[in-house]
Amino acid sequence: MATAKTETKKTGNTVEAKGDVKFALPDARRGLYAYVGAADYAVEQIRSLPRYQGAVVELLRSQVKDLQYQARVLPQTLRSSITDVQGRVTGTYSEFANRGEKLVSNIRKDPATQAAVEQTKTAKSQVKAARTSVKKAASDAETATEKAGDKIG
């Protein structure tokens, strides 16, 4: 069992303390025993490592063989991955192309689209006729202006 005795003395802003601690020798030994016990456990664990060394070395060897195999097949794996990606891209492209072709075909077959095309053709021929009429009217106006100028002049 531990006992402690302290004396304090205050002088101005300073405090002086003195103490005596008494404890039984078995209590002091207990802490040392714990330290020695922990060290002994560590040594025991270190001594058991050779027992696992064979398993660890074998595990490392198998991993090295596996890594060597993976390194050998890596180019082939990459090629097949690239081919797979190319195939998926080509497939997606084809799907989009087919989808677009169907959409355009449906739009062309739609009665509203066909009516709009017919109206556009009619408007185009009307514009051509109007252009011809305007040209003829401009030419007639020019001729009339010349004749009027001749009569006046």
| Cα 74 to the center of its chain, rounded Å | 24
**Paired residues of 7 in beta bridges:** 18
Flag whether pLDDT at 64 surpasses 70. yes
Quick one: pLDDT band at residue 1, thresholds 50, 70, 90? low
Residue 6: per-residue pLDDT: 72
Alpha carbon distances (Å) from 102 to 18, 30, 93, 94: 100, 90, 14, 12
pTM above 0.85, yes or no: no
d(CA 101, CA 84) in angstroms, rounded, equals: 26
**5-9, 27-31, 82-86 — which is least confidently predicted?**
27-31
Residue 43: per-residue pLDDT: 81
Residue 42: per-residue pLDDT: 81
Q: For 8-54, write each residue's pLDDT tens digit.
A: 777 887 777 777 767 666 666 666 677 677 778 888 888 887 777 77
Share of the chain above pLDDT 70, in %: 88
